[in-house]
Chains A and B, each alone.
Chain A
């Protein structure tokens, strides 16, 4: 039997795109692409790059525009239909606020970072992949803003996300994460964002938010999530491709990649602490606990991936065992911290309801019942006695991850973990061995971090003299945008809307 020879999809694509790039002659290639060698990554043959997208610009526009039409049709219906009334509880909005303030600006930062990487690589395949992802990320930032904008009419604390992005002390956690990546070389940037964050840890970011949105009746965010997920698969493939490419091109690349994986695993894990806290505390209807998510997505899938990477000589990232030890504590420690600094947050905090505490006992067991439940109950008792606790000073934050230095020792949940590192006769504080190692590897880089509490106390925050003046400088209104959820305008409005179900008054109506 003779089979007609037909061109495969891969072959057709390579014929169509072959030879579209060229070696420059007026200027040496090293000057045209000055950034893709200094990190020490050796590439012997850029043609070995497997284009993970295989998408032409023409089809790319076609797909993305259809996605937009569908997304906006659903967002329209959601808005017309007062979809904000269908969420599980107004406390859920703290999760949305955290995403809007912390994550959406990261999408925009990713757009900038990939645009830069898309200029930096001398291989055409890698450049095109980064450029397309750059456009994707811009679209994600934009569609998220549109999806969330409806909520801004009804809930407080969302009006100034762009203003507080560079000013709020707690938003320096996600911001510094990305700026660390963007100020690295192009290979480290793609390893950190595409591989460590979007591939290894992506399920721990996306699953809680998108499933959390679905569980809590947030159709706008759920729909955005679906529209983004079809892009995410491409981004993950890019992450896998770039890491395999580096590891296969030259054996000298292996220790460099290993050091990046050590660093970005720990940085990603620290950042995800915020997401875990959202899962355990901010979602009125819980999807799963942080501990369960960590077990499935890291201890299961992540370790399986590193088992495969071991064939290249890559070992598990440093301190992964510490992250696993912390899985029963990290979210409880973080929530208690957010709770006390509530006067300087653009979202609300609270003590969970009894049935939520029972859920946590079930998920976290004895440690929760002996350490965290009594503390939460004490906080509730104080609040009921009219003494809702706020710490009105700003915390010392880690020089690397910029999270307040409050995590506990890996083997002692009763002892705060502080690591002091020194460079050029100056001491700096880190929250963990993981962060201290990152500092010590690149001290010249991390001494330059602008640490928000120091800057604020130096008067750089519009001369604010205390936390309340500082919140004003952020355009956050005391006890409206900030502070305790119980008794807040968000809470009262919600109760009123839910009991009467009238057409709600919008903020702009009030202002008028």
Chain B
């Protein structure tokens, strides 16, 4: 059994199991709340309870004072919920969050296309008003009778509310993606929940944007770039895309065309595994190196959005920071796989997002 917990000022709502702490549920849902000791002694994770009933459990009397209990404060690392709850935490607001409510949808597969040997494009037709989302968000797709839904970023722009495009990479040993690659066909019904995630363009910030993407991580940047260009956004936009080889390179013509038509859009590609490929005339190597070469004066004064496999993200963060662009200007999707949630990587409290 679970309750709904809304986290202000984000306005995000998450499910919290009976007996699960608010902090645990938030972190698993990809929402960062301040915390340190994680067992009720330090008080870093103090939040206000605006509505609903909670239990303080073993919060230390020195870390959560009586006056604070009287004022409806609690420690998120100890508190469990006894009803639906609204909490207010010390997190930054997102002025650009449009706050679409998550809904369940039923769609029909309209088209399936092999984009590369490992990536399939799937287009889902949705009736009525379609799906309202912000470019960069993702959906939770239910697959067959599998217990947990799988997360996929939306590759189409929000203007195409009735036709949702997904780019699905075949994951080694992945049950869900194997099904989608081998059994899904046009006319099948698919149900999904959308929109999810906090990875979207900070439109109110006016800095030029650098997109760094690898593999099927192109989905969100594609949606975001199409959205920006459709709206006539005039800031400098650079997409650096990394693929293994020419076979794995997709939407090359689409982005090359956009770069021709829009003076403020630059498209750069680097292939990491094309040493012997004489027909490739572009850059070779990893995209964080390409980024360093291209932005010879460093990255300060930009916003960066990252999407791709973890080693690529990791290398790009270091490259951006060495080039003087720091955490508050770097954005990335943080949907955790079930495995991440079970065993969080060893990391320090230095960063909130990385």
Q: Whose C-beta in chain A lies nearest to the C-beta of B322?
A: A313
Residues in B neighbouring A230, C-beta threshold 8 A:
41-43, 60, 62-63
CB contact under 8 A between A312 and B321, given known A8-B88, A240-B349, A304-B348:
yes
Contact indicator A237/B321 (Cβ below 8 Å): no
Contact indicator A1/B326 (Cβ below 8 Å): no
Which listed residue (A66, A244, A309, A310) contacts B67, Cβ 8 A? A66
CB contact under 8 A between A10 and B326, given known A70-B62, A229-B63, A233-B44:
no
- Complexed CA–CA distance, A232 and B92 (Å): 23
Mask, A65-92, CB within 8 Å of B = 1, is 0110011000000000000000000000
Q: Whose C-beta in chain A lies nearest to the C-beta of B10?
A: A8
Indicate whether A26 reaches chain B with its CB closer than 8 angstroms.
Answer: no
Which listed residue (B41, B318, B351) contacts A229, Cβ 8 A? B41
Which listed residue (A66, A227, A310) contacts B318, Cβ 8 A? A310
Contact indicator B348/A301 (Cβ below 8 Å): yes
Contact indicator B101/A1 (Cβ below 8 Å): yes
Q: Whose C-beta in chain B lies nearest to the C-beta of A62?
A: B67
Contact indicator B92/A10 (Cβ below 8 Å): yes
- Complexed CA–CA distance, A232 and B37 (Å): 10
Indicate whether B66 reaches chain A with its CB closer than 8 angstroms.
Answer: yes
Report the minimum CB–CB distance from A139 to chain B (whole Å).
12
How many A residues touch B, CB cutoff 8 Å?
Answer: 38
Total cross-chain contacts (CB, 8 A): 94
- Complexed CA–CA distance, A251 and B324 (Å): 8
Contact indicator B350/A11 (Cβ below 8 Å): no
Which of A11, A230, A305 has the most C-beta atoms of chain B within 10 angstroms of its own C-beta?
A: A230
Mask, A1-32, CB within 8 Å of B = 1, is 10100111111000000000000000000000
Report the minimum CB–CB distance from A234 to chain B (whole Å).
8
Report the minimum CB–CB distance from B1 to chain A (whole Å).
25
Mask, A302-341, CB within 8 Å of B = 1, is 0011011111110000000000000000000000000000
Indicate whether B227 reaches chain A with its CB closer than 8 angstroms.
Answer: no
Which of B42, B62, B65, B101 has the most C-beta atoms of chain A within 10 angstroms of its own C-beta?
A: B62
- Complexed CA–CA distance, A8 and B354 (Å): 23
Main secondary structure on B side of the interface with A? loop
- Complexed CA–CA distance, A56 and B115 (Å): 57
Mask, A24-66, CB within 8 Å of B = 1, is 0000000000000000000000000000001000000011001
Residues in A neighbouring B48, C-beta threshold 8 A:
9
- Complexed CA–CA distance, A285 and B177 (Å): 55
Complex interface residues of chain B between 327 and 352 (CB less than 8 A to chain A): 346-351
- Complexed CA–CA distance, A236 and B347 (Å): 16
Indicate whether A248 reaches chain B with its CB closer than 8 angstroms.
Answer: yes
Which listed residue (B37, B93, B99) contacts A233, Cβ 8 A? B37
Residues in B neighbouring A71, C-beta threshold 8 A:
62
Contact indicator A3/B42 (Cβ below 8 Å): no
Indicate whether A226 reaches chain B with its CB closer than 8 angstroms.
Answer: yes
- Complexed CA–CA distance, A22 and B290 (Å): 44
Contact indicator B62/A229 (Cβ below 8 Å): yes
CB contact under 8 A between A63 and B93, given known A236-B36, A248-B326:
no
Q: Whose C-beta in chain A lies nearest to the C-beta of B323?
A: A251
Which of A9, A227, A300 has the most C-beta atoms of chain B within 10 angstroms of its own C-beta?
A: A9
Residues in B neighbouring A233, C-beta threshold 8 A:
36-37, 42-44
Residues in A neighbouring B351, C-beta threshold 8 A:
308
- Give chain B's interface residue range (CB within 8 Å of chain A): 35 or more
Report the minimum CB–CB distance from A353 to chain B (whole Å).
33
Mask, B25-52, CB within 8 Å of A = 1, is 0000000000011000111100010000
Mask, A333-358, CB within 8 Å of B = 1, is 00000000000000000000000000
Report the minimum CB–CB distance from B41 to chain A (whole Å).
5
Indicate whether B143 reaches chain A with its CB closer than 8 angstroms.
Answer: no
Complex interface residues of chain B between 52 and 96 (CB less than 8 A to chain A): 60-63, 65-68, 88-93
CB contact under 8 A between A67 and B65, given known A226-B41, A248-B326, A311-B321:
yes
Residues in B neighbouring A11, C-beta threshold 8 A:
9, 93
Indicate whether B109 reaches chain A with its CB closer than 8 angstroms.
Answer: no
CB contact under 8 A between A308 and B9, given known A66-B66, A226-B60, A233-B42:
no
- Complexed CA–CA distance, A251 and B298 (Å): 12
Residues in A neighbouring B8, C-beta threshold 8 A:
6, 8
Contact indicator B42/A229 (Cβ below 8 Å): yes
Report the minimum CB–CB distance from A239 to chain B (whole Å).
11
Contact indicator A308/B348 (Cβ below 8 Å): yes
Residues in A neighbouring B350, C-beta threshold 8 A:
240, 244, 305, 308-309
Residues in B neighbouring A308, C-beta threshold 8 A:
347-348, 350-351, 354
Indicate whether B317 reaches chain A with its CB closer than 8 angstroms.
Answer: yes
Indicate whether B11 reaches chain A with its CB closer than 8 angstroms.
Answer: yes
Contact indicator B99/A227 (Cβ below 8 Å): no
Report the minimum CB–CB distance from B54 to chain A (whole Å).
17
Which listed residue (A8, A237, A240) contacts B9, Cβ 8 A? A8
Contact indicator A63/B67 (Cβ below 8 Å): yes
Residues in A neighbouring B60, C-beta threshold 8 A:
226, 229-230
Q: Whose C-beta in chain B lies nearest to the C-beta of A71?
A: B62
Residues in A neighbouring B347, C-beta threshold 8 A:
304, 307-308
Which of A63, A71, A227, A300 has the most C-beta atoms of chain B within 10 angstroms of its own C-beta?
A: A63
Q: Whose C-beta in chain B lies nearest to the C-beta of A302?
A: B348
Residues in A neighbouring B92, C-beta threshold 8 A:
8, 10
Contact indicator A7/B354 (Cβ below 8 Å): no
Mask, B297-333, CB within 8 Å of A = 1, is 0000000000000000000011001101010000000
- Complexed CA–CA distance, A249 and B266 (Å): 29
Residues in A neighbouring B324, C-beta threshold 8 A:
251
Report the minimum CB–CB distance from B66 to chain A (whole Å).
6
Residues in B neighbouring A311, C-beta threshold 8 A:
317-318, 321-322, 354
- Complexed CA–CA distance, A237 and B34 (Å): 10
- Complexed CA–CA distance, A63 and B43 (Å): 12
- Complexed CA–CA distance, A237 and B349 (Å): 9
Contact indicator A305/B348 (Cβ below 8 Å): yes
Mask, A238-280, CB within 8 Å of B = 1, is 0010001000100100000000000000000000000000000
- Complexed CA–CA distance, A116 and B283 (Å): 55
Known A10-B93, A311-B354; further 15 A-B contacts with Cβ < 8 A: A1-B99, A3-B99, A6-B88, A8-B8, A9-B9, A9-B88, A70-B62, A229-B63, A230-B60, A237-B44, A251-B324, A304-B346, A305-B348, A309-B350, A311-B317
B contact residues vs A (CB 8 Å cutoff): 8-9, 11, 36-37, 41-44, 48, 60-63, 65-68, 88-93, 99, 101, 317-318, 321-322, 324, 326, 346-351, 354
* A–B complex contacts, Cβ < 8 Å, 5 sampled: A7-B9, A8-B93, A226-B62, A307-B348, A311-B321
A contact residues vs B (CB 8 Å cutoff): 1, 3, 6-11, 54, 62-63, 66-67, 70-71, 226-227, 229-230, 232-233, 236-237, 240, 244, 248, 251, 300-301, 304-305, 307-313
The 3 A-B pairs at the shortest CB distance, nearest first, are namely A233-B42, A8-B9, A305-B348
